[in-house]
A and B are shown apart, each in its own frame.
Chain A
């Protein structure tokens, strides 16, 4: 437990120092976060939600709280991590907003640190209201250290045409921890698209502990794409929590390529009738990588439709964990929910765990789920070979198909093409 005390100590030092000039409500939020983290401590594998993932490398590691980076990279240096040319852009280095690399838009696409004082009422109304900290120690810890991150606000009946890019880069060689905190608020009948990327300027060891809260109001639509391509020596822990209103559409896309150890808690609450939700995810792992996606879809209102698709491609000694929890609340009649998780094992040492968890408290609903874990289908191999496609190419094609199936659901064509190129590069390694 030494490390928990160490983190609490580092919080005390930080809170009493440079981070003190903030409104009281934010101080209270942080205090609540650190108290919760202190109570919960790090999760262990005896807990149901952490059965397959040990966070010992984080709990026993030593990570200093990230400081303002000494050197800011040039736009040329970060260009390889920008997946799109056009659109508003917010760039963060070790969790700190970088004005010189960003193209914000007034107080609607801005750093959270800025809007905490400039749009206090709006931020206060939403920040910390969705990402639960009750049973989520990492989310609680992030809340304790809330200071900067991305803020996106789309006013009612407004459409932002170009996707907004949020880029979180890890900079240096020191093992630091950053706690980026992002808030996305899409007002009534508005529409936007976001690309949230985590990457590193070089292959070193560090810890990212991110939380993204997403609110999509009645009749609005958000297409959110999250690309996790951290350093292969990094630890990545994150929570993404969405909350959507009546007749809204939320499409959440996830791609995880990076990290030595990655755990992503994804929660989606369908709070108003007639909502549509897509969770569409891909994890592509090799070496000794471990990625755990823990998803919860909460059907809290009637006549909502959710589709969840997660595919894993696991090579070498890598391990993929997927949990798909679907809760249908009493009264959420006419719920239509479909979930699939398909895992392709490219090596006999790769491993996948797939667990659907359905909790249904309404009687007039349609819920289906299915999962597969296995090597390439020999029938599919023969089918391709019988068309003149050689064994190696057939194998590549079928593997690529697992990834392409997920990428194909993303509507932003240039982003899809960039991710497609990354996938092809990974598979050619």
Chain B
């Protein structure tokens, strides 16, 4: 299979939060249409990598860089990254009081459409658009008129992230532990939706602690992050190996190297 164009290129990325260096030199190349999984033990820096790529203000980049579509990603404001097609599905989605999901989604979509020079969608056009999107991933509109994430169950919150992904149609979707806290049925639901959203023009970076999500979403590349560095990369079989052997053997390898 011919390889796609490089979408994201991370080189020697070092980043800190509250004075603690978490990422200690990450290199990563993601091409169009590829699905990459990043696995690793707690505290290895998986979520930090996801947050830094999305532009969370609490993280400071110390060295290295990241280009997205050839542009300096780290120099862009979070909203500009989103408008350029970067999407982060949050590990802990935030509750927004008083704003319904559909109002929120329309505001976000219209921000993206303005950027692309497309006309904004009014509430009626948006509802039609939304219904198509819901149908494409097989979900109903039961969450749409509730305030964003407020009173949602853990599973509903994660589904809501994937719904936003479907509506905003990013080129790079970063899933930060979307599987954590989900029971097996909710996990399958989310994974099936993600599979529906796979596309030659869309790449995924799936951050996960467990291998089980990768039973349903088959990645092209699996990376292991330990102590702020990618210590091993391989095919989907690497995930199974990690499941069988745990992370310790890799952590030891990282210490030695």
Residues of chain B with a CB closer than 8 A to A403's CB: 98
CB of B97 within 8 A of chain A?
A: yes
Contact A387 B99 (CB under 8 A): no
Partner of B107, one of A389, A391, A405, A408: A389
Contact A401 B108 (CB under 8 A): no
Contact A378 B57 (CB under 8 A): yes
Partner of A389, one of B81, B93, B94, B111: B111
Contact A387 B56 (CB under 8 A): no
Contact A401 B96 (CB under 8 A): yes
Residues of chain B with a CB closer than 8 A to A398's CB: 96, 99
How many residues of chain B have a CB within 8 Å of chain A?
A: 29
Q: For the complex, would chain A's binding face be called helix, strand, loop or mixed by DSSP majority?
A: helix
Which one of B2-10, B35-43, B82-90, B125-133 is at the interface? B82-90
Interface residues of B in 145-176 (CB under 8 A from A): 147, 164, 168
Residues of chain B with a CB closer than 8 A to A342's CB: 97
Contact A383 B99 (CB under 8 A): no
Residues of chain B with a CB closer than 8 A to A408's CB: 98
Please give the distance in Å from A11's CB to the nearest CB on chain B: 45
Contact A400 B112 (CB under 8 A): no
Contact A404 B99 (CB under 8 A): yes
Supposing A391-B79, A401-B98 touch, asked if A386 and B111 sit within 8 A by C-beta, the answer is no
What's the A-B contact tally at a CB cutoff of 8 Å? 81
Partner of A388, one of B90, B94, B98, B115: B115
Residues of chain A with a CB closer than 8 A to B71's CB: none
CB of B78 within 8 A of chain A?
A: yes
Supposing A377-B94, A388-B83, A403-B98 touch, asked if A382 and B111 sit within 8 A by C-beta, the answer is no
Please give the distance in Å from B212's CB to the nearest CB on chain A: 26
Interface residues of A in 183-233 (CB under 8 A from B): none
CA distance A406 to B147 in the complex (A): 12
Partner of A385, one of B77, B87, B97, B115: B77
Supposing A378-B57, A393-B111, A401-B147 touch, asked if A386 and B82 sit within 8 A by C-beta, the answer is yes
CA distance A402 to B99 in the complex (A): 8
Interface residues of B in 28-87 (CB under 8 A from A): 54-57, 77-79, 81-83, 87
Residue of B nearest to A405 (CB): B98
CA distance A400 to B78 in the complex (A): 22
CA distance A86 to B96 in the complex (A): 34
Residues of chain A with a CB closer than 8 A to B78's CB: 382, 385-386
CA distance A404 to B112 in the complex (A): 24
CA distance A386 to B51 in the complex (A): 10
Residues of chain B with a CB closer than 8 A to A46's CB: none
Contact B96 A387 (CB under 8 A): no
CA distance A417 to B222 in the complex (A): 51
Interface residues of A in 370-417 (CB under 8 A from B): 377-380, 382-391, 393-394, 397-398, 400-406, 408
CB within 8 Å of A: which residues of B? Answer: 54-57, 77-79, 81-83, 87-88, 90, 93-99, 104, 107-108, 111-112, 115, 147, 164, 168
10 CB < 8 A contacts A-B:
A377-B94, A382-B78, A383-B96, A384-B104, A385-B77, A385-B78, A386-B90, A387-B164, A389-B108, A401-B98
In order of increasing CB-CB distance, the 7 nearest A-B pairs are A401-B98, A405-B98, A388-B82, A404-B98, A387-B108, A388-B111, A385-B78
